[in-house]
Amino acid sequence: MSTPILDEHTQCDVLIIGAGVGGLSTAITAAKNGLRPVVIEKEPVFGGTTAFSGGVLWIPGNPLAKKAGIPDSREAAVTYMKNEAGEFFDETTVNAFLDTGPEMVEFFERETEVQFVPTLYPDYHPDRPGGVDIGRSILAAPYDIRALGPDMQRLRPPLRTITFIGMMFNSSNADIKHFFNVTKSLTSFLYVVKRLANHLKELAMYRRGTNVTSGNALAARLVKSALNLNIPIYTDTAARELIREGERVVGARVATPQGEVTIHAKRAVVLAAGGFPHDQERIRKNYPHLARGGVHLSPTPTGNTGDGIRMAEQLGATLQMDYPNACAWMPVSKVPFKNGEFGVFPHLLDRYKPGIIGVGRNGKRFTNESNSYHDVGEAMIKACINEPDTNMWLICDQATISKYGLGYAKPAPMPLGPMVRNGYLNRGRTLEELAHSAGIDAEGLKQTVTQYNEHATKGEDPEFGRGTTAFNRYLADPENKPNPCVAPIGKGPYYALKILMGDLGTFNGINTTPAGQVLDDQGQAIAGLYAAGNDRASVMGGSYPGAGITLGPIMTFGYITGKHLAQTQD
C-alpha cells in the first residue's frame, strides 16, 4: 500500500509527532483499538533515539521473568522506585507503570512483530531496598530488517562509534563476551567468524547490516508493526505549529518536501519528539556543567532539539524542570574521523574492566568506575564543580588495553598507533610522561596508582568498593580473580583517554497525567494534546535505577496513551 501525499485535506484521528519508540508504540496501540493515526518525523529516518540505544526495557513483573521463575514482587519494585526517586516519587504515575508494564509486554508480543528476550542485568543499585539481581530488564530480540522492504533504507542506522565496520553488538552480555574472548576460546572464535561473515555478506548485498540487534531491532520491529497496520509514517516532515480551535488542539502545521500543509487530527495530537538533548539554550540552563561553561557531547540524534516541548509551552503547558538530574548522564569521548568530522563514543563497557581507573585533572580517583554510566556521570559533575570543564581520564597499561580496548580503540590485534596519532589516545612510557601528555597532575597520578595497586593486587578497592555489587560485576571480567572489576596497573607504556560529559536523553519534560494528557499551569489537561516518550517528564524522577528505565516506561505509557485515546469521546 503506497503512502498518500500529505495535503490540506489530510485528516486522521491522532497525529503523532515523532517516530521513535514513544510515538510508534502509541500509534500501534491506537490503531489496534480502532483509531487512524498518522506519524510524522522531521528527520529522513525513523527510529529516534531508540535506534541508537541498547534496546533494553525495565519492566518489573514482566512475563519473561515470571516464566523463568525469577522471584520479584510489586511491593519490592515500589520500594525500589520510591527509594530511587525520593521527593519526586509520583505514586499515581508509578502505579500506572507497574500495573500496566507486564500487560504492555504481553500485548506487543501477542499482537505485533515486537518480541523480547530475557537478560541477566541486575538493577543498577541491587543492594538498595527493593533492588534485585536479575529479572526486571528485558531486551528486544534481533531482527532481519529485510522484512521492511524498501522502508529498510528509512531505518536509522546504529550509532557509528559503537559498531565494528557497521556490525552491531547485542546488548546481551553473553554476545559481547564472545568478542572479548575471540583469541582465547574456539567457541567464541567460531561465533565471531560467523557473525563477521554474515555481516560482510549483508554489506555486499544491501550496503548495511540487515540482522540488527538492540535498539535498532526494537525500532525496526515497531516500524514493521506500524506498516502492517497501514499506519503512514512520513519522514522529512517537521511539525511547525500546533493548531488550536477554541480550547482544543485539532492538528498541526507541518513542513513537507512539497511545502507546508495542515494535518487535521480528530482526537488529538501526541508530542513524541525525543526531548531536548540538542536544544542548546535549554540544556545550558538545565545541565550544571554547561551552566558553568563546560562542554557537553550527546550521542543522541541531533534532531532532538526540543520541538515538542516548545510547541507545548506555546499553548500554556507546564514543564517539570527541577529533577535532581535533568537527563541520563553518559560519560563519552570525542572520536576523530578521517574527514575532519568526529563521533561520540558512549562508555558503556570499558570502565567496568579490571586494570582501568578514572582520574580527574588532579590525578585522583573520585568514584567507583564500575558503577552505572549515570552514577559515574553524576560523580564527574560533582568532582569538577570548581573547574571550568567536566572531564575525567581513563588510565590503563599496555596489557589491559590490548585485552579489553579503551573506548573507540579496539583490543589486540587492532593497532593503537592511529588512535595515538590522531589524538584520541595519549600514550606515555612512564606515568609521568603520560600525565604530561594528557594534562594531568603527574604527582597526583603516581600517588593514585601506587595507592590503588597496593590493594588491587589482592582484588580490593577499599576507597570506592569496586566489585561489591552484582551490577559492578556484571560487565566486568569474571575470569579476573578474585575481583572481576579490580586488577593492578602494571608495566608501561600507559594510556589515557579523555572523557567528557554526554547524555542518553532528557528526564525533565512536559507535565502530564499518567495517560499522557498535557497539563497547563492550573493542572488541567489541554484538550486534544498529549505527550509521549522523552517529551514527557520521566516517571523515574531524575533517577536511573536500572537498564531500560527509559524505554520500559516509554513503551508502557505509549500503550496507556494509545488506549486512552481510543476511549476518549469525540
Which CATH number does the domain housing residue 259 bear?
3.50.50.60
Which of 502, 536, 559 marks a domain boundary?
Answer: 502
* pLDDT tier at 166, thresholds 50, 70, 90: low
Give the Cα separation of 351 and 377 in Å (integer).
Answer: 12
Whether residues 313 and 295 fall in one domain: yes
Answer whether residue 160 is part of any domain. Answer: no
Q: Which residue has the higher pLDDT, 13 or 5?
A: 13
Whether residues 316 and 371 fall in one domain: no
- N residues, the chain: 570
Look up the CATH number of the domain holding residue 479: 3.90.700.10
Whether residues 232 and 374 fall in one domain: no
| Closest alpha carbon to 553 in 12, 123, 56 | 56
pLDDT in tens, 248-262: 999 999 999 999 999
Region 248-277 average pLDDT:
97
pLDDT value for 162: 77
Give the Cα separation of 422 and 403 in Å (integer).
Answer: 21
Whether residues 490 and 356 fall in one domain: yes
Answer whether residue 157 is part of any domain. Answer: no
Region 462-476 average pLDDT:
97
Whether residues 239 and 362 fall in one domain: no
Whether residues 369 and 229 fall in one domain: no
Instruction: Give Cβ neighbours of residue 294 (< 8 Å, ≥ 6 apart).
Output: 384, 388, 389, 390, 501
pTM of the model: 0.94
> How do 494-506 and 327-336 pair as beta strands?
antiparallel
pLDDT at 540 over 90: yes
- What is the domain extent for residue 356? 333-502
SS3 state at 99: helix
Answer whether residue 403 is part of any domain. Answer: yes
Using an 8 Å Cβ cutoff, are 495 and 502 in contact?
no
* pLDDT tier at 569, thresholds 50, 70, 90: low
pLDDT in tens, 28-75: 999 999 999 999 999 999 999 999 999 999 999 999 999 999 999 999
- Record the cell numbers describing residue 133, joined without a space: 539481581
Whether residues 38 and 59 fall in one domain: yes
CB atoms within 10 A of CB 417: 9
Answer whether residue 371 is part of any domain. Answer: yes
- Record the cell numbers describing residue 281, joined without a space: 539554550
| Closest alpha carbon to 352 in 400, 411, 312 | 400
Q: How many domains does the chain have?
A: 2
Whether residues 367 and 462 fall in one domain: yes
SS3 state at 32: helix
pLDDT in tens, 126-139: 999 999 999 999 99
SS3 state at 374: helix
Give the Cα separation of 497 and 475 in Å (integer).
Answer: 20
Whether residues 409 and 550 fall in one domain: no
Whether residues 468 and 554 fall in one domain: no
pLDDT at 339 over 90: no
- Record the cell numbers describing residue 277, joined without a space: 538533548
pLDDT value for 469: 97
Q: Which amino acid is at 544?
A: Y
Using an 8 Å Cβ cutoff, are 236 and 39 in contact?
no
Region 158-179 average pLDDT:
65
| Closest alpha carbon to 406 in 390, 380, 427 | 427
pLDDT averaged over every residue in the chain: 94
Answer whether residue 174 is part of any domain. Answer: no
Instruction: Give Cβ neighbours of residue 206 (< 8 Å, ≥ 6 apart).
Output: 146, 152
Which of 452, 478, 502 marks a domain boundary?
Answer: 502
Give the Cα separation of 190 and 196 in Å (integer).
Answer: 10
Beta bridge partners of residue 244, listed in sequence order: 249
pLDDT value for 4: 74
Helices (H), 181-271: 186-206, 214-228
Answer whether residue 395 is part of any domain. Answer: yes
Sign for the pseudo-dihedral over CA of 61, 64, 66, 71: negative
Return the minimum-mean-pLDDT range out of 200-214, 322-336, 477-491: 200-214
Answer whether residue 33 is part of any domain. Answer: yes
Q: What are phi and psi of 194, to 5 degrees?
A: -65, -45
pLDDT at 299 over 80: yes
Which of 502, 532, 552 marks a domain boundary?
Answer: 502
The one-character DSSP state at 406 is: B
Whether residues 340 and 462 fall in one domain: yes
pLDDT value for 177: 65
Distance of alpha carbon 323 from its chain centroid, rounded?
Answer: 18
Give the Cα separation of 345 and 110 in Å (integer).
Answer: 36
The one-character DSSP state at 170 is: P
Answer whether residue 196 is part of any domain. Answer: no
Whether residues 279 and 410 fall in one domain: no
- Record the cell numbers describing residue 201, joined without a space: 555478506
Sign for the pseudo-dihedral over CA of 537, 541, 543, 548: negative
| CA separation, residue 391 to residues 358, 440, 444 (Å) | 10, 11, 16
- Record the cell numbers describing residue 532, joined without a space: 509521549
